[in-house]
Amino acid sequence: MLERPLRYLAIALSLVIAIGFTLFALEDIGRASEQSEHRVAGFTAANPSPAGERERERRHGQPREAIDDVNDMLLSPFAGITANETSRWARRGVPALLGLLVYGFGLGYLARWMTARGGPHPRPVRRRTA
């Protein structure tokens, strides 16, 4: 009864985490490429760090901000693990990986476990032998 919604929830949460990390990666790769171009051209690239939610909202559109908000909420239990990391990739990648493990694998496993444990199982039909 509850197995199918859990399975769908696991898939949906995993997709949100994967899309959020992919969008971060594309943005970070684009930023690195731009900085390299400025270095080659002799310019010093400004390296602005996001000043919080308002700065991110200003830079991103409404759909991207919704994905980021849900992603932030899902990964907040794991964010403290990498709070002192200097690498942006570690600060985003480790919580994303842990989120996929907990929400994707964990909820999927729970759904499979509930399927195996719950519900009426048909009993084998015993035939009378003469």
pLDDT at site 51: 55
Q: How far apart are CA 74 and CA 14, in angstroms?
A: 10
In a domain, 126, yes or no: no
pLDDT at site 37: 53
In a domain, 94, yes or no: yes
In a domain, 50, yes or no: no
What residues contact residue 103 under an 8 Å CB cut-off, 6+ apart? Answer: 10, 13, 14, 17, 74
pLDDT at site 14: 93
pLDDT at site 46: 26
In a domain, 29, yes or no: yes
pLDDT at site 67: 85
Full domain range(s) for residue 67: 3-45+61-116
In a domain, 82, yes or no: yes
Q: Which two tokens stand for residue 48?
A: 């602005």
In a domain, 51, yes or no: no
pLDDT at site 121: 55
**Torsion angle of alpha carbons 37, 42, 43, 45, nearest 10°?**
50
Q: Which residue stretches of the chain have pLDDT < 50? A: 38, 40-50
In a domain, 74, yes or no: yes
Q: How many domains does the chain have?
A: 1
In a domain, 65, yes or no: yes
Report how far Cα 125 is from the mean position of its chain's Cα atoms: 47
Q: How far apart are CA 79 and CA 98, in angstroms?
A: 10
